[in-house]
Amino acid sequence: MLEDVFLNKLVPEFNNPDNIVTKKEHTMCLTFKVVISHNFDSLLNDLYQKSLLCTKDMIADRTKSSSKYYKTIPCAVSKSLITKYQRNKKLKEIKKLVIPLCGDKGKQVKIIEGGIRIPAIFKKEIIPIIFPKPITGTIRQVEFFKRDKQWYMSYSYNTICESSRKTEGFIGVDRNSVGNVVTIADAITGKFRKIGPCTASLTKNFRNRRANLQSKGAKNALVKIKRKQSRRIKEINHKVSRTVVDYAKLHRSVLVLEDLGQISKKGKAKKYVQRSQWSFYQLETFIKYKAALLGVPVIYINPAYTSQICSKCGSLNKPNGKHYRCSSCGYFCHRDVNAAFNISKLGDKTVGEKVPIVRPVDSPLNQRVQKGAYLELSGGA
């Protein structure tokens, strides 16, 4: 009886039905980056220099694994540095230090109106931020880092994912090293879409620019052009993955991806992947986390022969470049479109549901358009 009174009056959060311990929610950890105002530059620069010296001491003597040995920096920062750097036994040298800070369930990083407050570093000063997604719980961790004389902060927190809904079909996603970034196809409706710019022309442009700079020995310019290419690819992958996931959500479909695995390290595919210089794994990661947030299921299938099997009759034919013609039924289409339809059908077989293929022989999808183009049917997304 006394225990019940204690739990009800002194510790009421234990009986709260919305308590994080008793309430089950499907959440995901998101990380975003913000620019820190120059008003904090002097404070962060001073903290950086002190943290760098302490971190070097941590690596030099790993037995000093307590914050009491590093009194020149806040205790919360030293504990996070010990976790991030000292416990990493493979780390021998630090080139660019990142200042981490654990949220500690809202004790170290406090959420207030208009942003967050970190008393251990900024006292009562507020860092203005906007949460792109609704926040669940508290800030898990923040990190401060400096790039090109500008301070940035990355912050991580949990957000609730949408629950999965009943699906009505499967959308095959074919990632391309030459041509558009992806081609998606729906085996139920017979519609397909090509999404993203031509990866070959984009990477060729950057490759030629890097070759010219390398011949001139401009090392700093080479680093900048490499970062620019990385940012450009990341931006396109974000837009492409958003289009793919939104299309799947609109049509209540399952996204079917090829399980490429170690494809970039062996076989003929290694040559195409290296030549394309496109981050397809990054694209896959973006599709997976965006799909999880919107409750869109994602499954994987074996990629063997998806470009060679006829999506109409099932016979095996080798494509001629980007053209695919079936020697058995005469079906003609783009190679990536044929592969996307095959991926969609394999997704159906993987799940075990029979999906009807609505695509007659005389449909526009099977007819070649004049001047080497192909009729592309949009799904209305």
DSSP 172-226: EEEE-SSSSSEEEEETTTTEEEEES--HHHHHHHHHHHHHHHHHHT-HHHHHHHH
User: Can you give the pLDDT of all 381 residues of the chain as single tens digits?
Assistant: 434 443 444 444 444 444 444 556 678 899 999 999 999 999 999 999 999 999 999 999 999 999 999 999 999 999 999 999 999 999 988 888 999 999 999 999 999 988 999 999 999 999 999 898 889 889 999 999 998 889 999 999 999 888 877 888 899 999 876 778 999 999 888 889 999 988 888 888 888 898 888 888 888 899 899 989 999 999 999 999 999 999 999 999 999 998 877 565 556 656 666 666 678 888 999 999 999 999 999 999 888 888 888 988 888 888 888 888 888 888 898 889 999 999 998 888 777 544 443 333 333 333 332 222 222 323 333
Contact 173, 343 (CB under 8 A): yes
Q: How far apart are CA 180 and CA 192, in angstroms?
A: 13
DSSP state of 37: P
| pTM, rounded to two decimals | 0.75
Say which residue the tokens 């080139």 belong to.
Answer: 95
CA distances from 126 to 15, 123, 213, 227, 313 (A): 33, 9, 43, 31, 64
- Phi/psi of residue 295, each to 5°? 75, 25
